[in-house]
């Protein structure tokens, strides 16, 4: 997949093969009994529909010449019953297949979503989120019709074609053979355009993915767009992507639309030949052709090409669906790099000792982020991590939570290598507040309870009070039941951080990780918050990343990290006395505060 680019086409990392179609039928398998039932009733209806021309032939050749009114009435009633049966079976088929199709779509989409939740951060770091979203929604929707109608219709049409040919052969063998002459022409045409047709639909899926990626990015960044008056420029980019999609669409449907005129032309030609020969044989009295025979056969000709046209449309739909199935199964097959070892154990209740031993890590192998990082923290101690942007501070705590795999080294909690325990049992005992204070759509109460779904309302409120969020929450129209939209746009940055803070605390973690937890909080709130923090951090192992050094002066130990290495380590007073990078950073902030 294109790496973080909305204007670069995705390249398939796993090419389609026939086994992926087998995987699709794996989703269909649980519904095979229902589908067999639908096929049976549709075949029954198809067989009954073949009686129409036969009944008409009998009426025209026998009952009308003999003025048999009673026979004509009986045939009319019989034909009416046949039509009613066909209508009822069609209704049953539509209802059943709609339900089956949507159930299958739901299962595919569920498998996609579940797998996406298991994929590591690195997967999302490398991909535009719009290109991921389009696979879960659009691509799955695009195979809906194939599952709901295409498969059943094709099977039914195939048997209908057999029935039609049998009935045609019973009427006149020579006329039937003339009718069949057009099929090899159509098959040769399909083989000729198959490769170009599939390539065109793959190109269309790329352009659709690019367009969705840009729309998602634009919506997320709408405030920045309007702040920098980028509306016109962004509209031009959108128009370019939309034009590319439109061109790809026209190319793809061009091949699809070529098939229907071909079938119509072949049908018209063969029908014309049959009429010419049939009339000449009728006049000459050869080959047993009668008026009733010719009328019945003409009726079967139109029925003969209808299922062929439908099967050709199914072929088009199948090629279209293949271009989407490739993307869907590629996502489902994306390896989960950060996962439980086969023999992983449940993490025992955490005591709080943490040790990094010779840890090396890189997002890209040629660009190491952490180099030989080693330190040990005992239960109840708080370690602050400071340093310049891009030094590796956040990476250290991400590794502790096992969001990424180490290149080498070990991370131990209470002497247990975290790679040997289940991820769920590890993370459930840790509270993490990342730099991005993400707020979900829903109530404030739900957002705080997100990390501990069994917490009572009283516990939620107590956590909010601890982080000084209670007062501003109660000032909102519905207090804790106030609805907030996605990303919490109704809230200020500081309010979002306080809610995220309460969420982390409510989980009652044994290890607490705070990544710039107070960066958007005003100084007055921070002072009030500090008392609650001190109470919370007591006897709890904690890691704190902060650029505002006033918040970490009381930490047990402060580590200055630069270029992936621990340059300095010690308490605030020790590092000030040492006179190194930390002191320089602290004094620069102190002077800035004095000047302002």
Which domains does the chain possess? 18-332 (1.20.1560.10), 351-429+547-596 (3.40.50.300)
Q: 32-49 vs 51-58: helix axis angle to the nearest 10? A: 20
Weakly modelled stretches of the chain, pLDDT under 70: 1-19, 145, 148-149, 283-288, 434-436, 486-489, 517-536, 550, 590-596
User: Within its chain, how far is the Cα of 306 from the centroid?
Assistant: 36
- Beta-bridge partners for 565: 562
Map residue 439 onto helix, strand or coil: coil
In this prediction, residue 274 carries a pLDDT of 79
Cβ atoms of residues 545 and 391 within 8 Å = no
The one-character DSSP state at 119 is S
Question: Backbone phi, then psi, for 389, in 5-degree steps?
Answer: -60, 135
What's residue 451's pLDDT? 74
Contacts 24+ apart (CB under 8 A), 7-12: 7/210, 7/214, 7/237, 7/241, 8/210, 9/203, 9/206, 9/207, 9/209, 9/210, 10/131, 10/205, 10/206, 10/209, 10/327, 12/202, 12/326, 12/327, 12/330
Task: State the pLDDT at residue 522.
Answer: 63
Tokens of 535: 């109470």
The β-bridge relationship of strands 442-443 and 408-413 is unpaired
Q: Nearest to residue 134, comparing CAs of 126, 123, 142?
A: 142
Q: What pLDDT does 354 receive?
A: 93
Q: At what angle do helices 231-284 and 183-220 cross, to 10 degrees?
A: 160
pLDDT at res. 2: 40
Is 130 buried (19+), middle (13-18) or exposed (0-12) by CB count in 10 A?
A: buried
Which residues have CB under 8 Å from 354's CB, separation 6+?
376, 377, 400, 411, 412, 413, 511, 541
Q: Which tokens in the block code for residue 124?
A: 């999302």
SS3 483: strand
The rounded distance, in Å, linking the Cα atoms of 192 and 189 is 5
362 beta partners? 368
């Amino acid at each position: 997949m294109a790496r973080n680019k909305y204007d670069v086409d995705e390249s398939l990392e796993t090419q389609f093969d026939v086994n992926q179609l087998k995987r699709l039928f794996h989703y269909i398998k649980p519904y095979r009994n229902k589908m067999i039932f639908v096929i049976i009733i549709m075949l029954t209806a198809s067989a009954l529909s073949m009686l129409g021309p036969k009944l008409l032939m009998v009426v025209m050749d026998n009952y009308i010449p003999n003025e048999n009114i009673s026979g004509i009435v009986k045939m009319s009633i019989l034909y009416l019953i046949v039509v009613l049966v066909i209508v009822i079976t069609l209704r049953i088929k539509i209802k059943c297949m709609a339900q089956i199709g949507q159930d299958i779509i739901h299962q595919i989409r569920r498998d996609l979503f579940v797998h996406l939740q298991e994929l590591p951060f690195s997967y999302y770091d490398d991909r535009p989120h719009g290109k991921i979203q389009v696979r879960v929604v659009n691509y799955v929707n695009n195979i809906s019709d194939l599952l709901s109608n295409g498969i059943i219709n094709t099977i039914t049409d195939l048997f209908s074609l057999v029935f039609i040919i049998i009935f045609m052969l019973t009427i006149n063998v020579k006329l039937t053979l003339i009718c069949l002459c057009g099929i090899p022409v159509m098959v040769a045409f399909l083989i000729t355009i198959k490769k170009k047709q599939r390539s065109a639909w793959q190109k269309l899926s790329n352009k659709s993915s690019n367009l969705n990626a840009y729309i998602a990015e634009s919506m997320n960044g709408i405030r920045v767009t309007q702040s920098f008056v980028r509306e016109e420029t962004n509209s031009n980019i959108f128009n370019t992507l939309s034009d590319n999609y439109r061109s790809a669409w026209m190319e793809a449907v061009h091949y699809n639309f070529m098939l229907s005129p071909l079938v119509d032309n072949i049908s018209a030609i063969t029908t014309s030949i049959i009429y010419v020969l049939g009339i000449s044989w009728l006049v000459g009295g050869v080959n047993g052709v009668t008026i009733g025979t010719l009328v019945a056969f003409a009726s079967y000709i139109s029925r003969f090409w209808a299922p062929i046209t439908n099967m050709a449309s199914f072929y088009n739909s199948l090629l279209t669906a293949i271009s989407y199935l490739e993307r869907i199964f590629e996502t489902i097959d994306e390896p989960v790099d950060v996962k439980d070892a086969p023999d992983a154990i449940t993490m025992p209740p955490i005591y709080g000792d943490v040790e990094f031993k010779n840890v090396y890590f890189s997002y890209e192998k040629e660009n190491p982020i952490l180099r030989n990082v080693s330190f040990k923290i005992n239960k109840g101690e708080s370690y602050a991590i400071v340093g310049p942007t891009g030094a590796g501070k956040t990476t250290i705590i991400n590794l502790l939570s096992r969001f990424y795999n180490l290149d080498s080294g070990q991370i131990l909690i209470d002497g247990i290598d975290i790679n040997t325990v289940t991820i769920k049992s590890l993370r459930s005992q840790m509270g993490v507040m990342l730099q991005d204070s993400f707020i979900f759509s829903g109530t404030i109460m739900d957002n705080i309870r997100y990390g501990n779904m069994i917490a009572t309302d009283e516990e939620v409120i107590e956590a909010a009070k601890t982080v000084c969020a209670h007062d501003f929450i109660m000032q909102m129209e519905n207090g804790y039941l106030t609805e907030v939209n996605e990303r919490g746009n109704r809230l200020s940055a500081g309010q979002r951080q306080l809610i995220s803070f309460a969420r982390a605390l409510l989980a009652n973690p044994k290890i607490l990780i705070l990544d710039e937890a107070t960066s958007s909080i005003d100084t007055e709130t921070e002072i009030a918050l500090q008392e609650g923090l001190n109470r919370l951090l007591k006897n709890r192992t904690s890691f704190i990343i902060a650029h505002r050094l006033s918040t970490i002066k009381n930490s047990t130990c402060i580590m200055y990290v630069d270029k992936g290495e621990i340059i300095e380590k010690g308490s605030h007073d020790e590092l000030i006395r040492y006179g190194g990078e930390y002191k320089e950073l602290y004094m620069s902030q102190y002077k800035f505060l004095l000047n302002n």
